[in-house]
Amino acid sequence: MRYLPKSPDERKKMIAEIGAKSIDDLFAIIPEEYRLTGDLNVPRQHAESEIVDYFRAAGDMNATRYASFLGAGAYRHYRPVVIDSLVQRGEFLTSYTPYQAEITQGTLQAIFEFQTMIAELTGMDVANASMYDGSTGAAEAVMMAVRITGRHKAVVARTVHPEYREVLSTYAKHQGIEKIPLGYDRETGRVDLAALDASITEETAAVLVQSPNFFGVVEDIPAIAAIAHAKGALLIVSIAEAVSLGAVRPPIEADIVSMEAQSFGVALSYGGPFCGVIAAKEQYLRQMPGRLVGQTVDSDGYRGFVLTLATREQHIRRERATSNICTNQALVALMATIFLTVYGKEGIRELAEHNMAKAAYAAGRLSTVPGAKLLFDKAPRFHEFVLKTDEAPAVWSKRLLNSKIVGGIDLSRWYPELEHATLWCATEVMPRESIDTAARALAAAPVEA
Amino acid sequence: MTNESNPSTSSAATRATTGKVRPHPSQNESLVFENSSPGKRGYKLPPLDVPAVDTKALLGSAAREVPAGLPELSEIEIIRHFTRLSTWNYAIDLGMYPLGSCTMKYNPRVNEFVSRIEGLADAHPYRPDSLAQGALEVIDLLQRCLIEITGMDAITLQPAAGAHGEFTGILLVRAWHESNGNARRKILIPDSAHGTNPATAAICGYTVENLKSNADGGIDLDALERQVDSETAALMLTNPSTLGVFENQIHKIADILHAKGALLYMDGANMNALVGKVRPGDFGVDVMHLNLHKTFSTPHGGGGPGSGPVACKAFLEPFLPIPVLVRREIEVNSPATESWENVGDDPLPGGTLPMFRAPAAEPLSAEDPRKQRVTLSWDYNRPKSVGRVRAFYGNTGMFIRALAYILANGPDGLRQTTEDAVLNANYIRAKLQDLYELPYKTPSMHEVVFSDKRQAALGVKTGDIAKRLIDYGFHPYTVSFPLIVHGALMIEPTESESLQELDLFIAAMRSIAKEVEDDPELVKTAPHSTRVSRLDEVQAARKPILRWRG
């Protein structure tokens, strides 16, 4: 086996030095009735070239040459080449969690830079070293708010990503956290502020909203914060499209921000690994879940970095920890750090502008197709929009697929009231030609040459 | 020991070598923000092919006024910055990483290569199932392999890491008890367990009850018998234990639990000791998680991403998180179906991969599903499900890597891997047990746990020995864990170490044991060869500085 660095003679020599007769002696403690006597029924040993062939075939089956208007929490952005050049360095790739600070300063300093960038982008004071993804991050943020306030109800906007809300339900169920759904304004697609005011009580730990929300609409965060804070509830803002922060005002009135950073240079990879992160106001630091890197000095006075405030964590606090999270998404956070360094202060703004331009063009072009119209066009949006069609999405999506285009996702899957409504996304990598082709296919007119 | 293998702080000895390390220049590097200057660029966007928009007009009061304080650097500076940082890290690629319980094995490069193949890396999670058959095929094959390896009946790959897998597994336990009318109240956890176990039980709404280990560091059957009652939901057991010891009474443990209607959860962190030799499903485990980033070679990446699949017995299958992958056979008479011959429910007939028969060059047509004989799709209609534990389907990129590892090994390679991992740990044990205290004499599997008892008598603790190991060119072992061993040195070499590397490690540990007697201060002030010396953790925690401010 090519990964195993021992010759048959070396194995024999080692077994002899241990004082065993054969390798079986070392497994003698396992009751005989359970020991396997034959091979596992898994594929035979394969050559590297065969493995590459297998996954290439799998990739080809996935039908790659499609233009896609899918977004909804997973976004296609260009990934600068230097990201993979750098994260594939073995010193990053094959290093463990940096508990031994003296020999992991590289990872530690990079995480410190990540924490700084996330704090800068979100307008929060502090950010952690990462969470699994945006969905679990949002659930952890709600649990954090429950710990801070000692209250047990969470008002959750229906415009938060439906799968994030499902994950929150799974987490909340066994901790006595009650989830109160909050509707949206049918005209703007934004949180219904009157309903928000009515649903917060003295028992509300937090209000969870997403901005840009699941319909791509930017929420009125200052107004939401004012209502939440008036009754002593915390405001948690979930951000599923991190690139929006290049153009959209950060949610500085929030107490906690839970962000999915996949857009920062992380491949779609059929849904993971992505990169969640929690950022918050400084006073809530001790209730934050997950790892934190802090700056300190060594015994000679030089600047250095360590994992810190570990008394919040499971390996110290066990059942009283702020979370059970251990392994997080460090290498993906490094991708995001490199991405943000590549684009920098000006680039992230310019990138956000390109996204908005593409989406504005796509929304304009598609909504002029007969029988189609934009929903929620009274509120500002980033790079996603909701299109309502006379025809059922199942019908026109076939025409689009024939033109090698994957259209918007059917919203009735999560919002039964939004019949024939689909969520479309156009990022900076969407060619104008694909938008035009999609519009022609949607119109059902014979495709002109 | 010769002077050659005994580095110290004196300038003459600075040039000495243990045979593994020599002093090496290390570049200074500022924080990325300190290298920034306005106007430098590391990017270039293509010209817009659509009309530009006035974002401030579109967003109104929601527009960003103050740009985020991100750094501005050119590409060469970015490459140098992160490359320099990388050189400050120790890594498996540089040498042995004997962290017990962490399974720091070789991360094959073909795994990285195949995970970046365009059709897989670019796949959007919401694309129609018909356009994602390649990704689903990979997931399906990995699921079947892991079910076979664990001896369980069903699996979910959704959890993002081990602790997330524990959460999912205990939710299954809870849902099953609830379906029987009583969720029960407590989870039993041995005192040798990982910290994630009690933290998980608490998150799932259970009370944690500690189970004291017996004189061998294993489960005390009498105590278990006394503590298991009608309110016990499950025992969370790590097997082999964190002492690296196989619970050879495992069937009795399972029987005691099952007799009272409680379940046996297995923390699969130490599965690298078992693959191909014995299957948890055969010895009474009801539900368990795996760590693809330990046993199945996906990289740790400085702390993730991981992946923590949960495998279970058939009676827990209805409770698995949504969505669940299902296979459907479609009857067709298309000539293209020839390529799908013999692909049925029979898992992996003849050890051959079904996909090798699929047409590799021609992507399957989206509008003509008849060309597919087997289709895979996600099933969301699962009324008994515990719900969703994360968005989408899991860390697919990690599934690809883990499957590549299984394919590279095959059944014989997986077994040999386990045997080598156990052989390496026992070799270290045999070569060090005269100098380091072995608190439990029970046979070791894939890791060995010593204590610092003899060294502590001279004022040197396990943490000091660990730091001194750095000067010899090794990453430290796991320090002070498991908690049941006072001053533990927990060493897991994995199968990836050659005899030469093991011998260097053993020489280093023997040399340090001698230093403890001759010059304890040298050990207590280690490391002496790193770019930073011991860092002030107290100051870091007292007045936390968690971000740069210009």
Confidence of residue B373 (pLDDT cuts 50, 70, 90): low
Per-residue pLDDT reduced to its tens digit, B73-117: 999 999 999 999 999 999 999 999 999 999 999 999 999 999 999
Determine contact, residues B210/B240, Cβ cutoff 8 Å: no
Q: Does A348 touch chain B (CB under 8 A)?
A: yes
pLDDT grade for B328, boundaries at 50, 70 and 90 = confident
pLDDT at B364 over 70: no
Who has greater pLDDT, B10 or A164? A164
Q: What radius of gyration, in Å, describes the C-alpha atoms of chain B?
A: 27
Please tell me the pTM assigned to this model.
0.95
What pLDDT digit, counting tens, does each position of B285-319 carry? Answer: 999 999 999 999 999 999 999 999 999 999 999 99
Cα–Cα distance measured from residue A398 to residue A393, given in angstroms and rounded to the nearest whole number: 9
Q: Which residues of A touch B427 (CB under 8 A)?
A: 14, 17-18
Q: In 10 A of CB A365, how many CB atoms? A: 18
Could you say which residues from 146 to 175 on chain A have a Cβ atom under 8 Å away from some Cβ of chain B?
161, 163-164, 166-167, 169-171, 173-175
Q: Tens of pLDDT along A353-404?
A: 999 999 999 999 999 999 999 999 999 999 999 999 999 999 999 999 999 9
> Which of A101-110, B332-341, B511-520 bottoms out in mean pLDDT, i.e. has the lowest?
B332-341
Q: How confident is the model at residue A319 (pLDDT cuts 50, 70, 90)?
A: confident
ipTM of the predicted structure? 0.97
Binary contact (A297, B91; C-beta < 8 A): no
Closest alpha carbon to B265 in B357, B152, B354, B419:
B152
- pLDDT at residue A61, as a whole number: 86
Indicate the domain borders of chain A.
67-78+345-442, 81-339
In this complex, is the C-beta atom of B514 within 8 Å of any C-beta atom belonging to chain A? no
E strand or H helix at A15: helix A8-18
A411 to chain B: nearest residue by CA?
Answer: B126
Give chain A positions within 8 Å (CB) of B541: 294, 308-311
A40 touches chain B (CB under 8 A): yes
Nearest CA to A211 out of A283, A259, A171, A173 is that of A259
Decide: B354 and B344 in contact? Cβ < 8 Å: no
Q: How far is A397 from chain B (nearest CA, A)?
A: 10
Q: What amino acid is encoded at B235 in this protein?
A: L
Check CB contact under 8 Å for B89 and A91: yes
- Residue B519 is predicted with a pLDDT of 96
Residue B8 has pLDDT above 60, yes or no: no
Does pLDDT of B411 surpass 80?
yes
Closest chain A residue to B51 measured between Cα atoms?
A: A357
Distance CA A32, CA B422 (A): 17
- The H-or-E segment that residue A117 falls in is helix A105-122
Contact residues on chain B for A82, CB-CB shorter than 8 A: 75, 78-79
Q: Are B75 and A82 in contact (CB under 8 A)?
A: yes
Q: Which residues pair with A108 in a beta bridge?
A: none
Q: Is the pLDDT of residue B359 over 80?
A: no
In this complex, is the C-beta atom of A370 within 8 Å of any C-beta atom belonging to chain B?
A: no
Dist. CA B382–CA B407, nearest whole Å? 32
Residue A116 contacts B where some CB pair is shorter than 8 Å: yes
Q: What pLDDT score was predicted for residue B360?
A: 30
The dotted CATH code for A67-78+345-442 is: 3.90.1150.10
Residue B336 has pLDDT above 50, yes or no: no
CB distance B366–A401 less than 8 Å? Answer: yes
Angle between helices B396-432 and B499-518 (to 10 degrees): 50
Burial of B389: CB neighbours in 10 Å, binned 0-12, 13-18, 19+: buried
* Strand spans (E) along B319-468: 324-329, 374-379, 448-451
pLDDT score at A8: 98
Query: How confident is residue A13, by pLDDT bands cut at 50, 70 and 90?
Result: very high
> What CA–CA distance (Å, rounded) separates B93 from B84?
16
Contact B135 A352 (CB under 8 A): no
Q: How far apart are CA B349 and CA B342, in angstroms?
A: 8
- How many H helices and E strands in chain A? 13, 15
B487 to chain A, minimum CA–CA distance in Å?
15
Residues of B in Cβ contact (< 8 Å) with A162: none
Whether residue A86 lies within 8 A of chain B, CB to CB, comes out as: yes
Q: Is residue A69 within 8 Å of A407, Cβ to Cβ?
A: yes
Tell if the CB–CB gap between B117 and A271 is shorter than 8 Å: no
pLDDT attached to residue A314: 84
> At residue B194, does pLDDT exceed 80?
yes
DSSP string of B466-502, one letter each residue: HHHHHHTT----EES-STTSTTEEEE---TT--HHHH
Residue B36 distance to chain A (closest CA, Å): 9
Residue A268 to residue B200, Cβ atoms within 8 A:
no
Q: CATH classification of B114-322+387-397 is 3.40.640.10, yes or no? A: yes
A286 CB within 8 Å of a chain B CB: no
> Which tokens is A45 given?
């040993």
Rounded-to-integer distance, Cα A156 and Cα A214, Å = 13
Give chain A's radius of gyration (CA, Å): 25
pLDDT-based confidence at residue A318 (cuts at 50, 70, 90): confident
* Interchain contact B534–A (C-beta under 8 A): yes
B541/A294 touch (CB, cutoff 8 Å), yes or no: yes
Give the per-residue SS3 of B228-289: CCCCEEEEEEECCCCCCCCCCCHHHHHHHHHHCCCEEEEEHHHHHHCCCCECHHHHCCCEEE
* Residues from chain A contacting residue B156 (CB–CB below 8 Å): none
Percent of chain A with pLDDT over 90: 93
Tokens of A124: 């929060």
The amino acid sitting at B58 is L
Q: Does residue B340 carry a pLDDT above 50?
A: no
Pull the structure tokens for residue A380.
């500002």
Enter the tokens of residue A228: 């939440």
Architecture of domain A81-339: 3-Layer(aba) Sandwich (3.40)
Three-state SS string over B31-75 comes to: CHHHHCCCCCCCCCCCCCCCCCCCHHHHHHHHECCCCCCCCCCCH
Q: Which of B28, B73, B86, B130 to mutate to test the interface with A (most CBs of A within 10 A)?
A: B86
Residue A268 to residues B54, B152, B394: CA-CA distances in angstroms?
A: 29, 30, 12
Contacts of B548 in chain A (CB under 8 A): 112-113, 116
CA distances from B328 to B155, B356, B358, B493 (A): 18, 19, 17, 43
In 3D, which of A218, A57, A443, A317 has the Cα closest to residue B141? A57
Residue from the list B31, B89, B539 with its beta carbon closest to the beta carbon of A92 = B89
Between chains, do B120 and A62 touch, taking CB under 8 Å as contact? yes
pLDDT at B329: 65
CB under 8 Å to B333, separation ≥6 — which residues? none
Q: Is the pLDDT of residue A119 over 90?
A: yes
Record: contact B540-A306, CB cut-off 8 A:
yes
Statement: residue B278 has pLDDT above 50 = yes
End-to-end alpha carbon distance in chain B: 50
* Residue B345 banded pLDDT, cuts 50, 70, 90: very low
Report B:313-372 residues touching A (Cβ under 8 A).
321-322, 347-348, 351-353, 355-356, 358, 360-364, 366-367
Predicted confidence (pLDDT) per residue in A268-315, tens digit: 999 999 999 999 999 999 999 999 999 999 999 999 999 999 988 888
Does B76 lie at the interface with A, CB-CB under 8 angstroms? no
Q: What is the largest CA-CA distance in chain B?
A: 81
- Cα separation, A281 vs B265, in Å, equals 38
User: Which of the residues A107, A285, A325, A326 would you substitute to probe the B interface, choosing the one with the greatest number of B C-beta atoms within 10 Å?
Assistant: A326
Beta bridge partners of B326: B377
Domain ranges of chain B: 114-322+387-397
Average pLDDT of the segment spanning A112-124 = 98
Nearest-by-Cβ selection for B470 from A57, A103, A112: A103
State how far the Cα of A302 lies from the Cα of A296, in Å rounded to an integer.
8
pLDDT of residue B347: 40
Q: For residue B271, which of B446, B495, B478, B490 has the smallest C-alpha distance? A: B446
Phi/psi-derived region of residue B532, left when phi > 0, alpha when psi is between -120 and 50, beta in every other case: beta
- Give bridge partners of residue B219 from the DSSP assignment: B213
Q: Residue A31: list chain B partners with CB under 8 A.
A: 248, 250-251, 283
DSSP three-state, residue B328: strand
pLDDT at position B1: 37
Q: Any CB–CB contact under 8 A between B31 and chain A? A: yes
User: Which of B420, B507, B528, B509 lies closest to B465, judged by CA?
Assistant: B509
Contact A134, A73 (CB under 8 A): yes
Residue A7 neighbours by CB under 8 Å, 6+ apart: none
A107 chain-B contacts, CB cut-off 8 A: 85, 89, 302-303
Place of tokens 């969505």: B323
**Residue B26 pLDDT > 50, yes or no?**
yes
pLDDT digits (tens, 9 = 90+) for A176-223: 999 999 999 999 999 999 999 999 999 999 999 999 999 999 999 999
Please report the pLDDT score of residue A192 as a whole number. 98
* pLDDT of B342 above 90: no
Band of residue B330 on the pLDDT scale cut at 50, 70, 90: low
- Using the beta-carbon criterion (under 8 Å), do B171 and A164 form an inter-chain contact? no
Whether B466 and chain A come into contact, CB under 8 Å, resolves to yes
Chain A: nearest CA to B176, how far in angstroms?
A: 14
pLDDT of residue B335: 39
Q: Which of A72, A297, A347 sits opposite B536 (nearest CB)?
A: A297
Give the three-state DSSP class for A259. strand
Residues of B in contact with A43 (CB under 8 A): 141, 145, 348, 351-353, 406-407, 410
Q: Provide, as residue numbers in chain A, all residues whose Cβ is less than 8 Å from the Cβ of B48.
A: 354, 357-358
